[in-house]
């Protein structure tokens, strides 16, 4: 039996979620067969319009159009990217998309087995944290991005999950739109920042950490591990990567959210619905979700509104302190926290009691 997060079947407000029509497709990803499963409404209402926008942009700019799709582990990035590729090929009027992965830029196993990372003065073998950003050859990735810009056709490395290692220059790249998926593409980190300059468009997928924990533990159990072993691996390896992606990724051009059922939505779509939990920020989402059954008629109870207001005030206070002590500039505040000029003004110069 697989691990279950025991979420209530009926969402807050007592309104049953609408019955979805699901579509499935069998895909071969990194040497393993995977099933893609998305609702019909998501395919027609999110995926096809997204691909249409990419096609229009590529036609206007000409040349190769590079898209980054960043998300934490267990969102199903590889499956999603390959499904979007297949959808682009099957839909008349769309420019062909090619799905590429970041995992082919892991250091090779022999390198990981013979190199350490110094953390808090202690050496950590890289193979023990495989999947963390420090286990990727970023310089190699930057060289391939340069080739994407300069060449019509090239070869891309893959990570073969049957060999558990990188295989160089396997995938032929030749289409006008490339969709690169990976955990660390939008990481706020000096080593990864140059890569973002090559992206013409970026998408970030958010998900609730509890959902990702469930999926990651189930993945290990399907591979033969016991629940205890899978949970221990999650706490040691997967959990730090999940939280790092969610907390340390810069804002994208477009944000999607993976719902509890594994389907995808935009933030704007969720704001029009009452059958999906809207708050995916960690850790406040966990607190709010535990009390979701107390909501009436689809509206949050009073304490939830007050809690959110208090958290918003605390956030503004922290950002204000960071600015005034010189830790961050106004430009960095706007870029890193997706603030408008009005938001920035309110944070740096809050109204006095007489002005309210």
Taking only the tens place, the pLDDT of each residue in 96-136 is 999 999 999 999 999 999 999 888 788 989 988 899 999 99
Report how far residue 207's alpha carbon sits from residue 21's, in angstroms, rounded to the nearest whole number: 22
Contacts of 211 (CB under 8 A, 6+ apart): 5, 74, 258, 260
- pLDDT of amino acid 33: 81
- pLDDT of amino acid 308: 60
Taking 70 as the pLDDT cut, the residues of the chain under it are 1-18, 30-31, 268, 270-308, 325-327, 335-338, 352-356
Q: How far does the chain reach from its first CA to its final CA, in angstroms?
A: 56
- pLDDT of amino acid 237: 85
- pLDDT of amino acid 64: 96
Q: What are phi and psi of 301, to 5 degrees?
A: -70, 165
Inter-residue contact 198 to 189 (CB < 8 Å): no
- pLDDT of amino acid 296: 41
Report how far residue 263's alpha carbon sits from residue 20's, in angstroms, rounded to the nearest whole number: 10
- pLDDT of amino acid 204: 97
Report how far residue 230's alpha carbon sits from residue 240's, in angstroms, rounded to the nearest whole number: 15
The candidate with the shortest Cα–Cα distance to 175, out of 27, 289, 66, 33, is: 66
- pLDDT of amino acid 306: 64
Report how far residue 81's alpha carbon sits from residue 117's, in angstroms, rounded to the nearest whole number: 31
- pLDDT of amino acid 280: 47
């Amino acid at each position: 039996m697989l691990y279950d997060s025991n979420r209530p079947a009926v969402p807050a407000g007592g309104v049953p979620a609408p019955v979805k029509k699901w579509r499935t497709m069998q895909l071969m990803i990194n040497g393993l067969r995977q099933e893609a499963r998305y609702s019909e409404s998501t395919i027609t209402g999110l995926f096809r319009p997204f691909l249409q926008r990419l096609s229009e942009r590529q036609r206007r700019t000409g040349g190769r159009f590079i898209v980054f799709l960043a998300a934490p582990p267990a969102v199903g990035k590889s499956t999603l990217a390959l499904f979007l590729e297949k959808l682009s090929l099957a839909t008349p009027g769309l420019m062909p998309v090619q799905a590429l992965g970041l995992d082919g830029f892991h250091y090779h196993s022999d390198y990981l087995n013979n190199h350490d990372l110094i953390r808090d003065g202690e050496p950590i073998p890289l193979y023990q944290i495989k999947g963390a950003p420090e286990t990727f050859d970023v310089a190699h990735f930057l060289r391939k991005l340069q080739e994407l810009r300069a060449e019509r056709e090239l070869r891309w490395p893959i990570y073969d999950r049957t060999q558990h290692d990188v295989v160089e220059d396997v995938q032929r790249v030749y289409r006008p739109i490339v969709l690169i998926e990976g955990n660390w593409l939008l990481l706020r980190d000096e080593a990864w920042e140059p890569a973002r300059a090559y992206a013409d468009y970026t998408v970030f997928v958010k998900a609730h950490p509890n959902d990702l924990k469930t999926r990651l533990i189930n993945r290990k159990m399907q591979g033969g591990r016991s629940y205890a072993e899978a949970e221990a691996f999650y706490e040691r390896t997967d959990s730090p990567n999940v939280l790092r992606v969610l907390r340390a990724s810069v804002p994208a051009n477009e944000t999607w959210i993976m719902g509890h059922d594994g389907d995808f939505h935009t933030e704007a779509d969720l704001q029009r619905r009452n059958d999906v939990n809207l708050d995916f920020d960690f850790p406040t989402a966990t607190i709010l979700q535990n009390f979701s059954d107390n909501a009436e008629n689809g509206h949050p109870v009073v304490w939830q509104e007050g809690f959110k207001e208090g958290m918003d005030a605390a956030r503004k206070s922290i950002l204000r302190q960071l600015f005034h002590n010189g830790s961050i500039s106004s430009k960095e505040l706007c870029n890193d926290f997706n603030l408008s000029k009005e938001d920035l003004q309110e944070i740096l110069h809050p109204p006095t009691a007489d002005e309210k």
